[in-house]
Structure 1
Amino acid sequence: MSQELQQSQGVTTGLQSQGHVGSSHNPRVGRPISMRILLADDHGMVRETISAYLTTEGRAAVVAGSDYFEAMKLLEQKGPFDLVLLDFSMPGMNGLQGLIDAVAAYPDQAFAIVSGTAPNKVAQDALEAGAIGFLPKTMGAKSLVNAVRFMIAGETFVPASVLASGGEAAESDFEKQLSQREKQVLSGLCKGHSNKEIARELDLQEVTIKLHVRTLCKKLNAKNRTQAALIAKEAGFE
């Protein structure tokens, strides 16, 4: 078990396992499946990356959805799962209200929140709302798989780095290089919004957004706005 997992045991609750570990076969990896996971995230690259981690490193069978509503439909049709991972910022979540509603609808299902930029205070709020864990998207493959296994075993997981932050958001090295306005513009790029849409959302002139996009491309060493968004998503930025 990693040091991060060992440190996280300060929030272990000793919950009983809320899912059955299957023994079916996953043709993608040619090894027995050890767990069934439902992952919901509106960023395709993030979904694919986390799914790959869980499939190759964790021998998991992953069912993926692109928003909260699709996740609930998949849960109804294909559940229960050993664990359901919900992106904090995806469409339909409405912050933690989506989690609260999901827990109420499926009280015997284990849920955890996944996030790249949510304030760390959300981790504690998520636990109080019924989640059994909080996973930053910046976690490495092995740490992520270990954390998922930890939760499926019936424990609660929150990274030590989140607990040590005192509830304040810990900026990644990627975010530290950007101004607050640049992060807002980059968030719009990651959502696929046009300069005009971002300008309207931030109450700025479109020409100002163009300047910010140019600066972002230079800082991120990106050839264009699309590549800037891909670089940001790979870094766990939402």
Structure 2
Amino acid sequence: MPKAETMNEQQENTLRVLIADDHAMILEMLEMYLTGVPDIEVETVPDLPAALEAIDRHGPFDLVLVDLDMPGMDGVAGLGKALEHNGGKPVGILTSNPPPRVVEEVMALGGAGIVLKTTSLKNLANEIRFMAGGGRYLPIELVKTRQQAQEDQGALLSRRESEVLGLLAEGKLNREIGVALNLAEPTVKMHVKAVCKKLGVSNRTQAVIAARDRKLI
């Protein structure tokens, strides 16, 4: 009887983790590493549709990690889908070198955090435990980059100009930006002109390129 109780306790304390990535080598590497961690049970799938199916089939996981650039994700929109399917339990992002704009979007959507593929595996188990426990994880390098981008952007662009810039980066027309931000089209044109002037460029395409170079988006 004591043995049965011990087994039940182990099962209750085991974290069920789902990892979705379209790179087979990365999946195999993560699965191989996590299989040796006694309190983590991992399942892997190759894309977002398979991840959503696995969540629906097996119930919410303690943590889901989805690759930012795999099929079906459509940027951070896929994160929102995974969060919805996972019943309020944590969902985080796997990626390599996200720009500050993506980091902000992940956190704003309620993501559990970002795990960088470019870092060592030695901290992965602790990162998983932290996010599964309700924490929101960002590697220190992303925290620093995010803070610097916020400082630079705050000094350079107004909040409204930053919003307009973000929508320019999505390829939206002035009319669409106006609808999204509840602004008249002439007002949008004024903000686009101000953004271009502050970034030292002559058109909206150059503004987006310059902003990305300076990691403002």
Q: Please report the TM-score for the alignment, with normalisation by the length of structure 2.
A: 0.59
Change (3 A) 1:46 1:125: same
Equivalent residue letter for 2:67 = D
1:201 aligns to what?
A: none
Contact 2:76/2:106 (<8 A) preserved: yes
Equivalent residue letter for 2:120 = G
Give 1:168 shift. Answer: 8.1
Identical positions, percent:
33
Give 1:112 shift. Answer: 0.3
Which protein, 1 or 2, shows the higher relative CO under an 8 Å CA cutoff with sep ≥ 6? 1
Q: 2:49 aligns with which of 49, 64, 69?
A: 69
Give 1:132 shift. Answer: 1.1
Partner SS state of residue 72, structure 1: helix
Alignment partner of 1:23 is 2:10: yes
- Structure 2 distance, partners of 1:160, 1:74, is 31
- Structure 1 distance, partners of 2:89, 2:50, is 16
1:226 aligns to what?
A: none
Equivalent residue letter for 1:87 = D
Contact 2:69/2:95 (<8 A) preserved: yes
Partner SS state of residue 27, structure 2: helix
Gaps of 5+ in 1: 1-21, 25-31, 170-238
Give 1:88 shift. Answer: 0.2
Contact 2:93/2:113 (<8 A) preserved: yes
Equivalent residue letter for 2:143 = L
Give 1:108 shift. Answer: 1.6
1:222 aligns to what?
A: none
Give 1:167 shift. Answer: 6.9
1:160 aligns to what?
A: 140
Q: 1:132 aligns with which of 112, 118, 135?
A: 112
2:88 aligns to what?
A: 108
Q: 2:18 aligns with which of 38, 46, 54?
A: 38
Q: 2:70 aligns with which of 75, 82, 90?
A: 90
Change (3 A) 1:53 1:168: farther
User: Structure 1, residues 169-226: CA drift from partner, whole Å, max 9, x if none?
Assistant: 9xxxxxxxxxxxxxxxxxxxxxxxxxxxxxxxxxxxxxxxxxxxxxxxxxxxxxxxxx
Contact 1:40/1:65 (<8 A) preserved: yes
Q: 1:55 aligns with which of 35, 45, 50?
A: 35
User: Structure 1, residues 66-115: CA drift from partner, whole Å, max 9, x if none?
Assistant: 00000000000012111000000000000001111222344422100010
Give 1:117 shift. Answer: 3.5
Equivalent residue letter for 1:135 = V
Contact 1:41/1:86 (<8 A) preserved: yes
Equivalent residue letter for 1:84 = V
- Structure 1 distance, partners of 2:139, 2:108, is 16
Q: 2:99 aligns with which of 97, 113, 119?
A: 119
Structure with larger Rg: 2
Greater helix share, structure number: 2
Aligned pair count?
A: 142
Contact 2:96/2:116 (<8 A) preserved: yes
Equivalent residue letter for 1:112 = G
